[in-house]
Structure 1
Amino acid sequence: MSTTPTGTITGTHEQTVTRLLQRQILPVDRDTDVFPLYVDLEDAVLDTDRHDVGGSKAAKDLNNAAIRQSTSTGRKLHPDQIRSRTELRLEPAQLLSFGTYFNAFPASYWRRHTIVSDVELTVRLSGAGSVVTVYKSMARGHAQRVESAVVEGEAGTFTFALPLKPFVDGGWYWYDVVAGDHGAVVEGAEWNAQVPADRAEHGTADICITTMNRPDFCAKLLTQLGEDDVLAPYLDTVMVMEQGKDLVADSEFFPHAEEVLGDRLRVLVQGNLGGSGGYARGQLESVRKGTATYALMMDDDVVCEPEGVIRAVTFGDLAKRPTIVGGHMFNIYNRSQLHSFGEIVQPWRFWWQTRLDGYSQWDFGARNLRSARWLHKRADVDFNGWFMCLIPRVVLEEVGLSLPVFIKWDDSEFGLRAKQAGYPTVSFPGAAVWHVPWTDKNDGVDWQSYFHQRNRFIAALLHSPYERGGRMVRESFNHQVKHLASLQYSTAELRHLALEDVLRGPHALHGELGTKLGEINAFRKQFTDAQLIEDRDDLPPVRRKKPPKKGKSDIEIPGRLSTLVAAGLAPLRQLRPVREMSRQYPEAELPAMDSGWFNLVKYDSAVVSMNDGSSVALYQRDPAHYRDLMKRTVEIHRRFHREWPELARQYREALGEITSPEAWEKTFAPWTEQRDGDE
């Protein structure tokens, strides 16, 4: 075979071209908090293989605790060692690894989902006597040395041919560098592959950002996307679906964002239709426009790694079939902490979760990629959150747009729908954003609890493989009892309302998309547990007639037996009259972290703080309300158990219609017609 001047390889078979898959990158802003995601100065301290741990629960618990323990020694890279976006200087004799989240090569994902069978790593290194060594890992995490090279003169360019065949279950490639006596500079590195000539050109993406009252955050994100010259050719249109009162166009940072994006930026103003309404508008505009290969969903309150967008597009271009390519989420407040490496919908419970052999809230600054076995097994997923998710336009054209559910479950339902149609989702390492973590929110008990309950049931009716939704109905009943026993009446009422709305059928969803939030907020104001108070002193002090039994505090987490006893006694407490003093004074004050149901069930009233630390609420026991709602809870769950098969049929038959571009066009008509009239 011969190489033409343009880099095209010709032979007896089809022509191929060289395609860049991934390049070495370093932090844009030299933020030391994110260094562990790009370069690693720590040793690899591999945890124990789970097959050696065995099946004992005690042994598993002990091993899980050990896996979470930090192995970091605190070694730091000086910011001045970063010379550019792609170039890094090493001190004399310094050793560091590029086996990191952003610079290791996720070989098993390329092996499983793309047409690529072999890659070439090229490293440009200067510094006499410096050494570059290539390693690979297998699915069980152990590393193997592949090849090394030494700089003989002042500098050298080294190329390594690396097959993807051994990575069927998992594994990475990466390279380590040891500087010579006078230091070294890693000038750059690229991972390339030979691909068919018809895959030579990269695709483009419409970025779809839904925003509401985060003007500065959104404008800064737009600026970040527009300022990256390497990303620019991959962008078709950046669409902002403006659904708030504080407009992104009024931000002091917006003029610069508008300048750097130019005519690629479109701001589409519409009513508050939630995340699903915002993203569906972007999806619809992208499909109708038809000029971009992909539509990329992205939250407005994120910090983006622009290279991740390029990698997602490149991976999608070379996938065997149209594939949804999602990014990962890092904690914007603890920037080396990963939310989840891959999520599934557990079919029996029908609840989203980190895959069973993975960990959430993983801190790469405490334990690096090379030390964590579980990160080397490929994580196969059911969906990817729309904080960053690249969807091929052809998938949207075939399976439809977002489900009209305002917020919650729109992304996971879409992933399940696409999977059923033969289009997989890949949560792709090396593509990521930094986002406010879910753990800092209180969406399980506030107004969002309505959408959690309603949309989870809708998604289960659409996709559960079990005749009556598996554990769904029983678990929902148990949660209702828990909220009632915890004095969270507003939450229980909203969840009940959600179930009533599910029973109304799928065709009501579009009509109430713009009104349901207002109805929910007005409805819940009547309950004291939903009335948030910023100043704790606006509520009475804690007083109680009797002190806590034996002086026990409420910060202990009960054991299994104590939990079962508390659960059994909780409903019986509702038969007791309310203590008179509890109507005037709260009996306890509980921080959010200690406000589990097993503590709340002890009181007739309590002041409880919210997860975000900004306010408190007064919880008060109401036996009459408890009995009324408990009766309704029993009745509606019996009805769901009885009617599930018929409901599932109704929702599944209507799915194609309610997610169609035509249905969404009617929903958007008040704003699109107004825009057309203005033009």
Structure 2
Amino acid sequence: MLVKDDRIYYQIQKIIMPNLDLGGDASLYVRPHGPNAGAIQPSRRILLNKFGVWSFDTFYNGLTVQSWKKHTEVSDLFFTLEGQGRFIVRIGLHRLECDKRFLIETECEIFEGKPYRLPIQNWGTLVNGLLYAEIQALEESSISGGKFETTSPPLKNVHLGLVITHFKRENAVKKAALRIQSTLSQEQEGKNIRLVVVDNSQTLIPEDVSGATLLPNKNLGGSGGFTRGLLYLKDEGSFTHCLFMDDDASCEVESILRSYRLLSYSKTPRFAIAGSLLREMAPHFLFEKGATFDGMCRPQHHGLDMRNVHHLLLAEFETRLPDYGGWWFFAFCLNDIRHFPFPFFVRGDDIMFGMINNFVITTQNGIASYGDDFGYKSGPLQIYLDVRNHLVQVLTHMNGSYADCEKLLNQFFDSSVRSFNYATARAVSMAIEDVSKGLSFWIQNMDMSEIKKKFTSLNQSEKMQPLSLTDIPGGVDIISHAHWTEKLYRRFVRKLTFNGLLLPNKLKKKTPILQNKNFSGDARVIFRYNSVVYYYNPTEQGYIAHRDLSRLISETKVFWKARNAFKTNFTQIKLGYERGYLDLTTEDFWRGVYRNIK
């Protein structure tokens, strides 16, 4: 029974029940032990059979000890269970290189509307690990919810602005706004969290955003849209923190609330939160949990399975803090902003924003968004955007040399031509030429309208469209062992023949090879093939790319010309960026941009 006392309890993490809102695997939320444990109801309630056991050592419902220990001064912890019936409640702890152990076990009886609160007396001695509840029913019972609480008051009075930048995804933003607004209205913290929708396509009306603030805006991409939201938060005057989110806000609203609480309790200067990115098509798959940048993007903890307890622990094991957080979910304090976004339009703005503001970025299991496969969306325009932003990062705050620039340019170009994606190869050269024009290029092309026109025809040869594999004459070859180890002599021959280019025709295969659509093809697999079918099974779309010697020669000439011109003028180009790039990240610069927009 809930013991009455005079203390005030503050919620820091609420149990999320499995639901169909986002389509995540139930094992991301809760684990039944055995086939007769019970069932999950559509009403987000768990029915437990007699002696049925359910545990919450999951991505969404385990509590990450180290992030609360490192960044806050929470002095005590309680677990509160809501439901009806007789239970054994156990508080368990998973740690890397340690066996699972239970810290507490107690028997209780709970009545509807009268939850049971259990003090976790070991909290003061814990260092790291995944803390969780395991519930066993002693009779047919039900669980309606639960939460971790503390009597330690928050250190800050946070007022959080959620900024969503929208462009022609009306249905997605309408659903997101309704879901966020309706959930926040039921939460105590909701009064201090407000949603702001920046409408870059100017296709929404106030009724579409369910009471959120709507800001019609000129389309200056994510850079301009999120900056417009930042300026609004600063001008409004009551906000202390900001959370950038994708326009579909594809996350559990509890992820927003957990971020709010962590920000409220944080004692760490320049503290920021980067939400993990889970694969929308397979939500257990972790794309990244923070990222570093060394001239190329390096997602942290990529490929881990968030249904697996050991992988959950690995995901929380830090050897290096993230350099930046993707703007699908990134929260920070407004007073910590030294620099506004660079006008990249899209791609790379989150990298530079995170790095030049020197945020201390944390990630946490249970704070996440769902996203599309980046490789599926990749094409000439996307690679153009990647190359130019990578190049600018290296020229400016990375203080890179020409050799650093040449290395990344060669990587982008070589992966394109080896994949027979010659339009993408041309995009690499175009990016070099545009970056070489200096800072004036960015000011003159903030809306990218003229640049997009150049890609209208270029995109066509690599455009994903409906494709039936059975309609391809002769079928396709499939090599399923994608992680095989290539023998040394094969690799030598492949390099010697420029990945099969110089092989005699009789050694080349006429049947196309099937490759999953990604940023590029696998050069090891493509070797000896003259055609590649790039295919994305979830949408049954793809295209066929062919080896083309004349196109290879022409694109190589264009690339060498652009790269050599960049090399010749490197000192001047680099100096121009170093002297002026921060001027394009000031509040005054962006206010001037919007002041001049009619």
TM-score by length of structure 2 reads 0.84
Answering whether residue 20 of structure 2 is matched by residue 78 of structure 1, we say: no
User: How do 1:484-633 residues align onto structure 2 when only pairs under 5 Å count?
Assistant: 484-515=417-448, 518-523=450-455, 525=457, 529-530=461-462, 534=466, 559-561=486-488, 562-570=490-498, 573=501, 588-593=511-516, 595-598=521-524, 600=526, 602=528, 608-609=534-535, 613-617=540-544, 619=546, 621-623=548-550, 625-633=551-559
Q: CA deviation at 1:112?
A: 1.3
Answering whether residue 259 of structure 2 is matched by residue 312 of structure 1, we say: yes
Task: Give the aligned partner of residue 432 of structure 1.
Answer: 368
Task: Give the aligned partner of residue 382 of structure 2.
Answer: 448
Q: CA deviation at 1:566?
A: 1.8
Sequence identity of aligned pairs in percent? 16
Task: Give the aligned partner of residue 189 of structure 1.
Answer: 146
Q: CA deviation at 1:279?
A: 1.5
Q: CA deviation at 1:225?
A: 1.1
Partners of 2:438 and 2:573 within 8 A in 1: yes
Deviations 1:236-265 (A, max 9, x none): 5422222337x344xxxx84x54xx32x32
In the alignment, the residues of structure 2 paired with residue 127 and residue 197 of structure 1 have an alpha-carbon distance, to the nearest angstrom, of 33
| 2:102 paired residue among 145, 154, 157 | 145
Q: CA deviation at 1:430?
A: 2.1
Partners of 2:530 and 2:547 within 8 A in 1: yes
In the alignment, the residues of structure 1 paired with residue 568 and residue 361 of structure 2 have an alpha-carbon distance, to the nearest angstrom, of 34
Q: CA deviation at 1:299?
A: 0.7
Task: Give the aligned partner of residue 305 of structure 2.
Answer: 362
Partners of 2:340 and 2:585 within 8 A in 1: yes
Q: Quickly say closer, same or farther: Cα 1:572–1:28, change in 2 above 3 A.
A: closer
Partners of 2:91 and 2:134 within 8 A in 1: yes
Answering whether residue 174 of structure 2 is matched by residue 241 of structure 1, we say: no
Partners of 1:99 and 1:174 within 8 A in 2: yes
Answering whether residue 125 of structure 2 is matched by residue 161 of structure 1, we say: no
Q: Quickly say closer, same or farther: Cα 1:324–1:90, change in 2 above 3 A.
A: same
In the alignment, the residues of structure 2 paired with residue 486 and residue 30 of structure 1 have an alpha-carbon distance, to the nearest angstrom, of 38
Partners of 1:496 and 1:633 within 8 A in 2: yes
Q: CA deviation at 1:617?
A: 4.7
Partners of 1:388 and 1:432 within 8 A in 2: yes
| 2:272 paired residue among 296, 321, 324 | 324
In the alignment, the residues of structure 2 paired with residue 241 and residue 30 of structure 1 have an alpha-carbon distance, to the nearest angstrom, of 24
Q: Quickly say closer, same or farther: Cα 1:641–1:316, change in 2 above 3 A.
A: farther
Q: CA deviation at 1:316?
A: 0.8
SS of 1:21's equivalent in the other structure is strand
Partners of 1:324 and 1:389 within 8 A in 2: yes
In the alignment, the residues of structure 1 paired with residue 281 and residue 342 of structure 2 have an alpha-carbon distance, to the nearest angstrom, of 31
Answering whether residue 97 of structure 2 is matched by residue 106 of structure 1, we say: no
Q: CA deviation at 1:521?
A: 4.5
Comparing 303-312 and 426-435, the one that deviates more: 426-435
Task: Give the aligned partner of residue 397 of structure 2.
Answer: 463
TM-score by length of structure 1 reads 0.75
Task: Give the aligned partner of residue 176 of structure 2.
Answer: 221
Q: Quickly say closer, same or farther: Cα 1:490–1:134, change in 2 above 3 A.
A: same
Partners of 1:328 and 1:340 within 8 A in 2: yes
How many equivalent residue pairs? 581
Give the aligned residue type for 1:173.
L
Q: CA deviation at 1:575?
A: 11
SS of 1:362's equivalent in the other structure is coil
Answering whether residue 136 of structure 2 is matched by residue 178 of structure 1, we say: yes
In the alignment, the residues of structure 2 paired with residue 371 and residue 615 of structure 1 have an alpha-carbon distance, to the nearest angstrom, of 32
Q: Quickly say closer, same or farther: Cα 1:555–1:141, change in 2 above 3 A.
A: same
Q: Quickly say closer, same or farther: Cα 1:152–1:669, change in 2 above 3 A.
A: closer
In the alignment, the residues of structure 2 paired with residue 536 and residue 83 of structure 1 have an alpha-carbon distance, to the nearest angstrom, of 41
| 1:664 paired residue among 590, 594, 597 | 590
In the alignment, the residues of structure 2 paired with residue 284 and residue 520 of structure 1 have an alpha-carbon distance, to the nearest angstrom, of 27
Partners of 2:275 and 2:290 within 8 A in 1: no
User: How do 1:327-346 residues align onto structure 2 when only pairs under 5 Å count?
Assistant: 327-345=275-293
In the alignment, the residues of structure 2 paired with residue 76 and residue 626 of structure 1 have an alpha-carbon distance, to the nearest angstrom, of 61
Answering whether residue 341 of structure 2 is matched by residue 402 of structure 1, we say: yes
In the alignment, the residues of structure 2 paired with residue 504 and residue 136 of structure 1 have an alpha-carbon distance, to the nearest angstrom, of 56
Task: Give the aligned partner of residue 290 of structure 1.
Answer: 237
In the alignment, the residues of structure 2 paired with residue 617 and residue 140 of structure 1 have an alpha-carbon distance, to the nearest angstrom, of 47
Q: CA deviation at 1:194?
A: 3.7
| 2:329 paired residue among 367, 388, 407 | 388
Q: CA deviation at 1:105?
A: 1.2
Q: Structure 2: 5+ residue runs without aligned partners?
A: none
Task: Give the aligned partner of residue 64 of structure 1.
Answer: none
SS of 1:360's equivalent in the other structure is coil
Partners of 1:507 and 1:654 within 8 A in 2: no
In the alignment, the residues of structure 1 paired with residue 510 and residue 260 of structure 2 have an alpha-carbon distance, to the nearest angstrom, of 56
Task: Give the aligned partner of residue 13 of structure 1.
Answer: none
In the alignment, the residues of structure 2 paired with residue 124 and residue 572 of structure 1 have an alpha-carbon distance, to the nearest angstrom, of 64
Q: CA deviation at 1:483?
A: 2.1
Q: Quickly say closer, same or farther: Cα 1:486–1:136, change in 2 above 3 A.
A: closer
Q: CA deviation at 1:117?
A: 4.0
Q: Quickly say closer, same or farther: Cα 1:381–1:371, change in 2 above 3 A.
A: closer
Partners of 1:567 and 1:598 within 8 A in 2: no
Q: CA deviation at 1:98?
A: 1.5
Partners of 1:125 and 1:185 within 8 A in 2: yes
Give the aligned residue type for 2:328.
F
SS of 1:146's equivalent in the other structure is strand
Q: Quickly say closer, same or farther: Cα 1:153–1:210, change in 2 above 3 A.
A: closer
Partners of 1:206 and 1:238 within 8 A in 2: yes
| 1:374 paired residue among 314, 324, 331 | 314
| 1:20 paired residue among 11, 15, 29 | 11
SS of 2:233's equivalent in the other structure is helix
Partners of 2:286 and 2:303 within 8 A in 1: yes
Q: CA deviation at 1:564?
A: 4.2
Q: Structure 1: 5+ residue runs without aligned partners?
A: 8-16, 43-72, 674-679
Q: Quickly say closer, same or farther: Cα 1:627–1:646, change in 2 above 3 A.
A: same
In the alignment, the residues of structure 2 paired with residue 593 and residue 75 of structure 1 have an alpha-carbon distance, to the nearest angstrom, of 40
| 2:163 paired residue among 186, 208, 213 | 208
SS of 1:455's equivalent in the other structure is helix
SS of 1:484's equivalent in the other structure is helix
Partners of 1:531 and 1:617 within 8 A in 2: no
Q: CA deviation at 1:372?
A: 5.1
Q: Quickly say closer, same or farther: Cα 1:615–1:647, change in 2 above 3 A.
A: same
Answering whether residue 186 of structure 2 is matched by residue 230 of structure 1, we say: yes
